[in-house]
């Protein structure tokens, strides 16, 4: 074919492949003016008021159960919460994504680089979560184009309003412009409190959740993004520099024991509180079951008494039959009227 036709064919094929791979993010050749929209002055002023700036470091946390997305910004005294956004929709249940097509939204720790930003998303704006990460791949988990995007609809992604994703996208863009090569995305099923863990204690994902809770605890104590890696198919944190880890291999002793005392203390306290809360919930469930049984027994006793009384009254008036505790008047012998009312 001629050079011009060949060029057109190749361009069309490229666009078709991009469309097939797009997933939640989508591919839509369009002006990305909305992706370059400046931050509102109100947002810039709010950042300054908390001791940060558009170019400062950024971190994002997502909590599925409460449908919240938090943006944290770096300040001189650690990371501070800039804003919490309501998530419009996320798909699936609590728990990590396992395979392509399960319509689950991922959980875990992800690193967002400029290459994961999608200014041409079919869903207004988007950034890719980076799923599957090193941990996910260690378990053979599959899936592609798992995004945080606009448009309030989800097929395994986290969907925001267009207004929310526009601000989040701009904050990320300015963070990259400020010289930061990436920002961290932490995704949890819920806030990793003892009460929430106890509420879901029988969930089959509990072992995984205990694993990612260490990262949650570290951030709660340090107010800094965690340095994570994977060995023994587990998340590990603050790995000594220069250490190369095999995701499926055994963790070096220096890594396995690299847990600050403050984190150990928090984890132990939360485990104890969780055990107490699980016991309390079990006791509450037992009391509720006992109350329900008591009510059922009382109802059965009342029904039995009603049937007994009906039978007794029926016997007084000549053995009238009783059906389900109700006397049938048609078969009760007539009662003689007082003398004055009798006919002559």
Angstrom distance (rounded) from CA 177 to CA 170: 10
- Mind giving me the DSSP string for 272-285? HHHHHHHHHHHHHH
Residue 209, Cα to own-chain centre: how many angstroms? 12
Angle (CA) 182 240 260, round 5° = 95
176 closest CA partner among 46, 54, 76: 54
Angstrom distance (rounded) from CA 127 to CA 115: 9
138 closest CA partner among 245, 237, 227, 62: 245
Residue 200 annotated to the active site: no
Choosing from 157, 200, 231, 251, the catalytic residue is 157
Provide the token pair at 109.
């720790």
**Enclosing H/E stretch for 81:** strand 78-86
Residue 314 per-residue DSSP state:
H
Angstrom distance (rounded) from CA 23 to CA 157: 9
150 closest CA partner among 280, 11, 294, 37: 37
Residue 157 annotated to the active site: yes
Choosing from 24, 88, 149, 251, the catalytic residue is 149
Any idea which residues carry the catalytic annotation? 149, 157
């Amino acid at each position: 074919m001629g050079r011009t036709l060949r060029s057109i064919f190749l361009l069309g094929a490229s666009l078709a492949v991009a469309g097939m791979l797009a997933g939640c993010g989508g591919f839509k050749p369009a002006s990305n003016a909305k992706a370059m929209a400046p931050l509102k002055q109100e947002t810039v002023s709010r950042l300054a008021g908390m001791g940060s700036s558009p170019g400062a470091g950024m971190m994002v946390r997502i909590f599925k159960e409460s449908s919240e997305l938090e943006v944290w910004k770096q300040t001189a005294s650690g990371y501070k919460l800039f804003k919490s956004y309501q998530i419009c929709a996320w798909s699936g249940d609590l728990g990590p994504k396992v395979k392509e097509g399960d319509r689950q939204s991922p959980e875990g720790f992800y690193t967002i680089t400029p290459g994961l930003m999608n200014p041409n998303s079919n869903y207004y704006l988007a950034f890719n979560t980076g799923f599957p990460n090193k941990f996910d791949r260690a378990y053979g988990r599959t899936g592609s184009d798992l995004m945080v995007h606009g448009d309030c609809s989800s097929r395994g992604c986290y969907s925001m309003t267009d207004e929310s994703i526009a601000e989040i996208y701009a904050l990320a863009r300015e963070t990259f412009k400020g010289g930061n090569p990436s920002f961290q995305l932490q995704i949890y099923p819920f806030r990793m409190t003892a009460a929430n863990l106890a509420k879901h204690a029988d969930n089959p994902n509990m072992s995984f959740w205990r694993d990612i809770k260490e990262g949650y605890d570290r951030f709660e104590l340090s107010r800094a993004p965690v340095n994570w890696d994977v060995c023994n198919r587990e998340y590990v944190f603050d790995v000594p520099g220069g250490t190369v880890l095999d995701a499926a291999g055994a963790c070096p002793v220096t890594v396995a024991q690299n847990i600050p005392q403050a984190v150990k203390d928090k984890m132990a306290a939360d485990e104890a509180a969780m055990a107490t809360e699980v016991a309390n919930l079990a006791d509450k469930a037992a009391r509720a079951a006992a109350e329900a049984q008591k009510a059922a027994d009382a109802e059965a006793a009342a029904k039995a008494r009603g049937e007994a009384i009906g039978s007794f009254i029926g016997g007084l008036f000549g053995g009238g039959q009783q059906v389900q505790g109700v006397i049938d008047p048609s078969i009760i012998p007539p009662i003689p009227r007082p003398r004055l009312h009798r006919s002559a």
